[in-house]
Amino acid sequence: MTITKKKLVLIGNGMAGVRAVEHLIKLSPESYDITIFGAEPHPNYNRIMLSSVLAGGADMQEIVINDWDWYKENNITLHTGHKVTKIDTENKKVTSHLGIEVDYDAVIIATGSNPFMLPLPGADKEGVIAFRDINDCEIMIDASKKYKKAVVIGGGLLGLEAARGLLHLGMEVNVVHIFNYLMERQLDEAAAKMLQRELEAQGMQFLLQKSTASIKGKKRASGLVFADGTEVDGDLVVMAVGIKPNIELAKASGIEVNRGIIVDDFMQTSVPGIYAVGECAEHRGIAYGLVAPLYEQGAVLAKHLVGVETAGYQGSVTSTKLKVSGVDVFSAGRFDEAPGTRSLKIQDDMAGTYKKIVIQDGKLVGAVLFGDTSDGSELFATIKSGESVAGREKEILLGISSDLLGKSSGGNRLEAMADDEIICGCNGVSKGTIADAILNKGCNTVGSIKACTKASASCGGCKPQVEGLLHLYAGDSVGEAVKEGICGCTPLSRDEIVEEITRMRLMSTKEVMNVLEWHNPEGCSKCRPALNYYLGMLYPEEYVDEKESRITNERFHANIQKDGTYSVVPRIYGGVTSPADLKKIAEVAEKFDVPMVKFTGGQRLDLLGVKKEDLPKIWEELDMPSGHAYGKTLRTVKTCVGSTFCRFGTQDSISMGIQMEKAFERLNTPAKVKLAVSGCPRNCAEATIKDFGVVAIDGGWELHVAGNGGVKVRATDLLCIVKTEDEVMEWSSAFLQYYRENAQWNERTSQWVERVGLDSVKKALEKREDRLALKERIEKTLSLTTDPWKQIIETDDLRKNFEQLNGVQPVQI
């Protein structure tokens, strides 16, 4: 008997809606044909990790929750870049702005929320943005390359995370806040002041109790004007003052709305068959903006849609546990000192920790933690339970332990938690999911639980609770955490896996994972490509390559970049090319509007086999500076693509490299000199084996010297760390000139520094006046030089001189 599937349409490809679909698929994968519309051109990603992307702690690939393959594997039709403009509730059809029309039996509206933009004069100027999605991150990154000053309006969590990211991008940042202390919704004044001191030490500047009157500037914003008449400059203005539920589609479709889309306990709207979850939904007068309540809503809705009996959603008691620019903070319940409450506090300014608990009628009703949040989950559970803590207040204040206070009604606190309570807020992993991984899937370490469920895989704040559940359910079976194999899915090493594949003639990745008892039966992005390679290596004739197990770059034969575009690199064997191939590359680049074409490696083209008598004419017709691939001079300045394209790049390495090459070309030196600039510590330009290497870091540049990649490889020594490009030029000029003046002939910088000692070089360059004097001398030298091959073609006399050299044997060095 064929079962006709119902048609489910999800409007919104964010965390809340897709979470509901994940639950639904697990409960009843055959119940619905699912179509998802997402306004952004991306798969489902973790929005709360955007601040980590901006601050350089994660890349876009790492914050994707469900990649493109997940939709295909679950037979989900995905329309990215489609904004739904109409829900025809009478004919049960959904239509996107690009004309896609889909029938439905049920609709989930998960349109989330929109950033609130203050209606200020000048708010429509260029350079005024919110901080809400990937596009906002990209705008900030681009702005940081052109401008140096940013202003963030809003001293809440989102504003501080935006400010931290802009600091990472090298911008000067002022945070404007209307209240007298930061994060007033999550922290009390004492904790907020401690946080402010920490952030000021990181470089943030704060303008508190300031009300913005207008945004100044002509076409582009140039700063803010405040109500008190004062001003602050800024070429980028980021508004982070709050969010409002995105209800426009629902409202236009005749669905009842208030602040959000009004829903009942089963997330049903006023129109039958249409549901809402997440930040756009309003339940019992509350629209939640935190992850845990949204996931709880999704679980209830999924059960309801597939007919599984469930209690309705009753609302959520919320807590906030997070990192603000590297500082741990936690708050839950009521932390204000209202009438009828009493509070206990402990503060350690030396350790940078603060703890406050609020008691009412013998019960714990609120808590604030700063610096050390390890007690957060236990405090939150105590608040939710409503149990009496009379007589235990000081014990709670001084430090909860699982032995003393982790017991409730005769049982362990974690044991008393409901199975659907969220442990990992970042990834929406419940206690029940973790328990199932431990009891039924063989996960007996925190690492294997992470691989199987994603619990603790993002910020790591829930790791203590994951460890507690591991000991609760695994008991004596808890595994050794020290042994981890090629990934968290298995404790087996590369050699052990290859040995077992060979011994048992395992012939597919699925077979390997099953027979070798992978903790995660689907594997992960680390082990699947590895297994695919091992099998192909061992059985090249028999093994059928699994394309789905290859990384994205290999599947598309191109390198994915941070903006979702690809880098295509045709092979040029040995660096040898032809005029026909060069024309082909140029024509393709023009035809497809390729934004940049770049030489790789040494970044030169070498014309070999040229006759001696033809040299003057070739240089004359080339009319290009010499690459100096032969002399004791500057050879190359190798660069990576840096922040211009690379998703890991922190600085514009291409621009920095070009600046250095143009400054030092034609520079004669005791021996050949090679330079390099890497756009991040991944060091793709190999700057740490060059004579002078520049490596971009968070907010500045590392300057390395005396490396050698030749026969005798020598890693560089760190000379210093600077903040600006001008300082890079100052120090590189001084170092090269000091080397020119003090090294022996034919002595590479590596040999020279080993001979004289790095400390002597540092001492010679430590005073700025000495560096500037060296810089002036090298600039004077360079101003007197011209390209030697231009001299050959400029006069008949020089041409004759060249011709007279014909037949003269060169000096052998």
pLDDT given for residue 610 in this prediction: 55
Grade residue 553 by pLDDT with cuts at 50, 70 and 90: low
pTM above 0.85, yes or no: no
Residues 308-338: tens digit of each pLDDT: 999 999 987 777 766 666 678 888 888 888 8
In this prediction, residues 791-804 reach a mean pLDDT of 44
In the chain, where are the structural domains located?
Answer: 6-113+245-305, 117-241, 319-402, 435-552, 627-783
**195 near 327, Cβ under 8 Å?**
yes
Inform me whether the pLDDT recorded for 79 exceeds 60: yes
Inform me whether the pLDDT recorded for 342 exceeds 60: yes
**424 near 456, Cβ under 8 Å?**
yes
DSSP 126: B
Inform me whether the pLDDT recorded for 594 exceeds 80: no
In this prediction, residues 457-476 reach a mean pLDDT of 77
Least confident of 140-154, 251-265, 614-628: 614-628
Q: Annotated binding residues for [4Fe-4S] cluster, as ranges? A: 640, 646, 680, 684
Residues 105-115: tens digit of each pLDDT: 999 999 999 99
With 0-12 / 13-18 / 19 or more C-beta atoms within 10 angstroms meaning exposed / middle / buried, residue 288 is: buried
Residues 721-746: tens digit of each pLDDT: 999 999 999 999 999 989 888 887 77
pLDDT given for residue 16 in this prediction: 92
Grade residue 121 by pLDDT with cuts at 50, 70 and 90: very high
Inform me whether the pLDDT recorded for 574 exceeds 60: no
With 0-12 / 13-18 / 19 or more C-beta atoms within 10 angstroms meaning exposed / middle / buried, residue 580 is: exposed
Inform me whether the pLDDT recorded for 685 exceeds 50: yes
In this prediction, residues 60-72 reach a mean pLDDT of 84
Least confident of 517-531, 744-758, 781-795: 781-795
CA dist list (Å): 336 to 322, 395, 605: 20, 21, 69
6-113+245-305 CATH: 3.50.50.60
**470 near 458, Cβ under 8 Å?**
no
User: CATH number of the domain at 319-402, out of 3.50.50.60, 3.30.390.30, 3.40.228.10, 1.20.810.10?
Assistant: 3.30.390.30
In this prediction, residues 804-812 reach a mean pLDDT of 38
Class of domain 117-241: alpha beta
pLDDT given for residue 372 in this prediction: 84
Beta strand spans in 337-482 (E): 342-348, 353-360, 363-370, 407-408, 411-412, 422-424, 429-430
pLDDT given for residue 127 in this prediction: 94
Report residue 689 CA to chain centroid gap. 28
pLDDT given for residue 401 in this prediction: 45
pLDDT given for residue 581 in this prediction: 76
Inform me whether the pLDDT recorded for 104 exceeds 80: yes
In this prediction, residues 511-521 reach a mean pLDDT of 86
pLDDT given for residue 471 in this prediction: 84
CA atoms of 489 and 526, how far apart (whole Å): 9
Inform me whether the pLDDT recorded for 410 exceeds 50: no
Q: How many CB atoms lie within 10 A of CB 117?
A: 16
CA dist list (Å): 728 to 147, 573, 677, 720, 766: 19, 35, 11, 10, 14
Residues 6+ apart with CB under 8 A from 67: 43
In this prediction, residues 677-694 reach a mean pLDDT of 91
Inform me whether the pLDDT recorded for 606 exceeds 80: no
For a pLDDT cut of 90, what percent of the chain falls above it?
38
In this prediction, residues 128-143 reach a mean pLDDT of 89
CA atoms of 650 and 678, how far apart (whole Å): 9
Residue with tokens 């409450």: 341
pLDDT given for residue 320 in this prediction: 73
Inform me whether the pLDDT recorded for 681 exceeds 50: yes
**100 near 82, Cβ under 8 Å?**
yes
pLDDT given for residue 240 in this prediction: 92
For a pLDDT cut of 70, what percent of the chain falls above it?
82
Residues 18-58: tens digit of each pLDDT: 999 999 998 999 999 999 999 998 899 888 778 777 766 56
More confident site: 261 or 584: 261
Residues 6+ apart with CB under 8 A from 243: 113, 114, 115, 116, 132, 279, 289
Inform me whether the pLDDT recorded for 136 exceeds 70: yes
Q: How many CB atoms lie within 10 A of CB 457?
A: 18
Q: Annotated binding residues, as ranges? A: 640, 646, 680, 684
Residues 211-220: tens digit of each pLDDT: 999 999 999 9
pLDDT given for residue 797 in this prediction: 43
- CATH 3.30.70.60 matches 627-783: no
Inform me whether the pLDDT recorded for 404 exceeds 60: no
pLDDT given for residue 604 in this prediction: 55
CA atoms within 13 A on the CB side of 394: 1
Residue with tokens 């992470």: 450
Inform me whether the pLDDT recorded for 299 exceeds 60: yes
Q: Annotated binding residues for siroheme, as ranges? A: 684
Least confident of 207-221, 356-370, 545-559: 545-559
In this prediction, residues 484-510 reach a mean pLDDT of 84
pLDDT given for residue 296 in this prediction: 87
Inform me whether the pLDDT recorded for 101 exceeds 90: yes
In this prediction, residues 104-131 reach a mean pLDDT of 94
pLDDT given for residue 134 in this prediction: 85
More confident site: 568 or 763: 763
In this prediction, residues 678-687 reach a mean pLDDT of 90
Q: Which of 583-587, 607-611, 719-723 has the highest mean pLDDT?
A: 719-723
More confident site: 79 or 335: 79
Inform me whether the pLDDT recorded for 353 exceeds 80: yes
Topology alike, domains 6-113+245-305 and 627-783: no
Grade residue 480 by pLDDT with cuts at 50, 70 and 90: low
Inform me whether the pLDDT recorded for 691 exceeds 60: yes
pLDDT given for residue 482 in this prediction: 45
pLDDT given for residue 367 in this prediction: 92
Least confident of 288-297, 625-634, 650-659: 625-634
Grade residue 806 by pLDDT with cuts at 50, 70 and 90: very low
